[in-house]
Amino acid sequence: MEQAHSFFSFPYCSIPLDSAIEILLAHSAGPQGSSGVSLLEALSRIAGKDLHARIDLPPFDNSPLDGFALRHSDSAGASKEKPVLLRVVETIYAGDLPRKALSRGECARVMTGAPLPPGATCVIPFEDTDNQPHTVGLFHPLEAHQNYRFHGEDVRQGQGILRQGERISGAHLGLLAAQGFTEVPVFARPQVGILSTGTELMSGPEPLSPGKIYDSNRYLLAARVAALGAQPFCSPKIPDDPALIAQALEELLKTCHCVITTGGVSVGAHDYMPQAGSYIGAQPLFRQVQMKPGGWVTALYKDAVIILCLSGNPGAAAMSFDLLAGPLIRHLAGAAVVRPPQLLGVLQDPFSKTSPQNRFLYARQEGRDVFLPRTGFGSGLLSSLIGCNCIVHIPAGSPALHPGDTVELIPLSA
Amino acid sequence: MEQAHSFFSFPYCSIPLDSAIEILLAHSAGPQGSSGVSLLEALSRIAGKDLHARIDLPPFDNSPLDGFALRHSDSAGASKEKPVLLRVVETIYAGDLPRKALSRGECARVMTGAPLPPGATCVIPFEDTDNQPHTVGLFHPLEAHQNYRFHGEDVRQGQGILRQGERISGAHLGLLAAQGFTEVPVFARPQVGILSTGTELMSGPEPLSPGKIYDSNRYLLAARVAALGAQPFCSPKIPDDPALIAQALEELLKTCHCVITTGGVSVGAHDYMPQAGSYIGAQPLFRQVQMKPGGWVTALYKDAVIILCLSGNPGAAAMSFDLLAGPLIRHLAGAAVVRPPQLLGVLQDPFSKTSPQNRFLYARQEGRDVFLPRTGFGSGLLSSLIGCNCIVHIPAGSPALHPGDTVELIPLSA
């Protein structure tokens, strides 16, 4: 191995968050192939291809309500005192076809969704007429195309209805079904390996030994992987031993499209993650990112797979996951938009610290309002993450913040 | 059947939305039993019981960083010119136990997460010292409990960590794992029957016949049912025939905890849903709700199961689903909060119509900002639902709205 690539000589310089994301995306393979799945299976998956409308929606001019279809010119001059009388020539139900065109003085009884007969230019609801069986009285004039639903007014044949890389929603499913689609091409879900490291880690239900803690990061991160639409694959936890960590990484690299680890990334004597990366011949991409918390992040690269090594502190691990692994996993999943948008919200709580560096806080957005956790912000605190649905970004150099201040926020995947 | 309960005599009076929700909740059985599932299976499920912390978190006083644990009193008066020298008596890794208490003039090298030795009252990071192996120099004084993580500062033993009826998030999973839990009690997912009615309905891949449309509501609604954490169960579509509809309802009532239908609820000649309800001896609860769109909603009740009959227009069906079926299904799922919150947002688009009655619009919230669909608001429009993640509520009697206006909004389940 070249000395230039050794972890021991790899500089600890901290790179900007945007550069770190760019490096991850530049080294990541992108989505695997796409395949067709049934409509309901496609929910929340990433579209593998562009789809275009096969037909106009609605497919034909139709009535938006229960009433009488007529030629609007026939209603000219109608009033309470001088009703216009029209002859009802047929009744058209939804699913029917009109049997005849409307001539002057004629109308058709039409139900919601029924095709409009040739000649009809508007529809009047039953309740605005005297609703008689054979001859119906109108009491006011109608305009051309009043209560008239045009074919293609919702969707035009050939129009794009699903873009490759879009996350498929229930509304998409409705639209695809309305077009007669029964299958949707979706990208394969990336498999994301998760490895918790640390001699201090135990797992329930074993009783906790003194000096040990239960591993929580594996679940915190697996849930986030799942929320991004990827498949979490959890390795057994590994003590602080670079050879054992290297072995676990090799195992995960066999099947995973990216690997997320926690623990062992800082400057402690047992922070073995960079060394384990060196054992397996992985290329270091960066070791520190200009963000707080979660700035200690080691990115390794081997066999076209990124190994992103996060802090062992749950809050720090979650933050670097959301800001760095999130874009990477969205990219692997084929999402067209991989970076979360930066939106604006109105802070409802004070934040008394100044922010000499780029700072991120978990928070709860409710409408335009943004609330900070009441339990504080230590990077070891798990309880403060409960209920949070966004991240507030406080740019480097910001002063303390006050209720009413406008803040940048990044929504979290549900 | 009593005449008073006949659908033909049932008054068409329109009831307020809140009353309609109250009627649905009062007639609904609530959640089925709860059972334990593994942590990862519990993601997004509704907690079936309150859970309390088994242990303090962290379980012991520990170091939040890599550094030296010391007695802060020893650091008094330290400066660049007059460093305080401390003897390093041991190294404590995460997962270790301290072997000795600190005496005056002593310190211990500690890694992040390592238990602090008795006597230690603060921690100084390596990089703030000369970091020598045996005798370490301090250049500034420290305060008591500087860089000191107390046992229980995140969670206290006995404290509530999950409330019955809460939706279980990734943060909950992390917290439960950190407490040694391996299983979580969750409520059973309610089964929700979905029935599309209408002689006009076809399904892909059959080619579309003139006058017919493809059924989209089934998918639109099934996706919403799934987003609420319930299990959609779709019946085959049924033409406008009250006897066939009645038969399909009876079938769904055998296994479903509630049933959602679309089509046949208005005043058209083939609006057979109330009649089908009468055939099966269901009790009518209401027929119209003061909201637009989606005001035509028939609620039926049989064998402790609610049948909620929505419009056949996709936009209207979606709106009554979100505002009425949403609270009902959340209640059946055991959610503690069943009514969506009314939040505030800042409208970015004009809405030129006045709203003589309670009006609801699908919209897209991005941070504090709320955008209206560019494609208009017809209740038959499917394309306008794409990308919407909230509902704007415009109270009855509101004038036209302008960009910058504060509006009430209801977030949609993801």
Across the interface, of B95, B173, B313, the residue whose CB is closest to A200 is B95
Across the interface, of B126, B172, B346, the residue whose CB is closest to A267 is B126
Q: Which fold has domain B34-57+153-187?
A: Molybdopterin biosynthesis moea protein, domain 2 (3.90.105)
> What DSSP assignment string belongs to A337-353?
--SPP-EEEEE-S-B-S
In the 3-class helix/strand/coil scheme, how is chain B assigned residue by residue? Answer: CCHHHCCCCCCCCCECHHHHHHHHHHCCCCCCCEEEEECHHHCCCEECCCEECCCCECCCCECCCCEEEECHHHHCCCCCCCCEEEEEEEEECCCCCCCCCCCCCEEEEECCCCECCCCCCEEEEHHHECCCCCEEEECCCCCCCCCCECCCCCECCCCEEECCCCECCHHHHHHHHHCCCCEEEEECCCEEEEEEECCCEECCCCCCCCCCEECCHHHHHHHHHHHCCCEEEECCCECCCHHHHHHHHHHHHCCCCEEEEECCCCCCCCCCHHHHHHHCCCEEEEEEECCECCCEEEEEEECCEEEEEECCCHHHHHHHHHHHHHHHHHHHHCCCCCCCCCEEEEECCCECCCECCCEEEEEEEECCEEECCCCCCCCCCCHHHCCCCEEEEECCCECCECCCCEEEEEECCC
Chain A CB contacts of B94 below 8 Å? 198-200, 240, 270, 312
Across the interface, of B59, B66, B341, the residue whose CB is closest to A208 is B59
Across the interface, of B180, B271, B381, the residue whose CB is closest to A214 is B180
Across the interface, of B95, B177, B212, the residue whose CB is closest to A216 is B177
pLDDT at A10 over 80: no
Across the interface, of A208, A215, A269, the residue whose CB is closest to B55 is A208
* Alpha helices (H) in A213-271, listed in sequence order: 217-227, 242-253
> Residue A12's pLDDT is what?
63
pLDDT at A330 over 60: yes
Chain A CB contacts of B182 below 8 Å? 203-205
Please compute the mean of the pLDDT values over residues A20-31 and round it to a whole number.
95
Q: What is the CA B87 to chain-centroid distance, rounded? A: 54
> Residue A9's pLDDT is what?
44
Q: Which residues contact A205 (CB under 8 A, 6 or more apart)?
A: B180, B182
> Residue B217's pLDDT is what?
97
**Amino acid (1-letter code) at residue B382:** L
Cα distance from B281 to chain A (closest Cα, Å)? Answer: 27
> Residue A380's pLDDT is what?
75
Tokens 């969670």 belong to which residue? B155
Q: What is the pLDDT of residues B141-180, one digit of tens each?
A: 999 999 999 999 999 999 999 999 999 999 999 999 999 9
| Closest chain A residue to B377, measured at CA | A154
List the one residue out of B191, B353, B194 whose CA is nearest residue B262.
B194
> Residue A5's pLDDT is what?
40
Chain B CB contacts of A114 below 8 Å? 200, 211
Chain B CB contacts of A169 below 8 Å? 223, 386-387
Chain B CB contacts of A366 below 8 Å? 341, 343
> Residue A7's pLDDT is what?
45
Cα distance from B91 to chain A (closest Cα, Å)? Answer: 9
A6: confidence class by pLDDT, cuts 50, 70, 90: very low
Asked if the Cβ–Cβ distance from A387 to B171 is below 8 Å, we say: yes
B5: confidence class by pLDDT, cuts 50, 70, 90: very low
pLDDT at B267 over 80: no
More confident residue, B377 or A288: A288
Q: What is the pLDDT of residues A286-307, one digit of tens each?
A: 999 999 999 999 999 999 999 9
Q: Which fold has domain A3-32+188-333?
A: Molybdenum Cofactor Biosythetic Enzyme; Chain A (3.40.980)
The second-level CATH assignment, the architecture, of B3-32+189-333 is 3-Layer(aba) Sandwich (3.40)
CATH of domain A67-138: 2.170.190.11
Q: What is the pLDDT of residues A45-82, one digit of tens each?
A: 999 999 999 999 999 999 999 999 999 999 999 999 99
In DSSP terms, A306 is beta-bridged to: A258, A301
d(CA B7, CA A113): 24
> Residue B12's pLDDT is what?
62
Asked if the Cβ–Cβ distance from A211 to B266 is below 8 Å, we say: no
Residue A332 structure tokens: 């692997």
> Residue A270's pLDDT is what?
83
| Closest chain A residue to B199, measured at CA | A95
Q: Give residue limits of the domains in chain A.
A: 3-32+188-333, 34-57+153-187, 67-138, 343-411
Chain B CB contacts of A319 below 8 Å? none
Asked if the Cβ–Cβ distance from B240 to A201 is below 8 Å, we say: no
Cα distance from A61 to chain B (closest Cα, Å)? Answer: 9
d(CA A318, CA A362): 10
A to B CB pairs, distance under 8 Å: 336
Cα distance from A237 to chain B (closest Cα, Å)? Answer: 13
Specify whether domain B343-411 bears CATH 2.40.340.10.
yes
What is the SS3 assignment for A223? helix
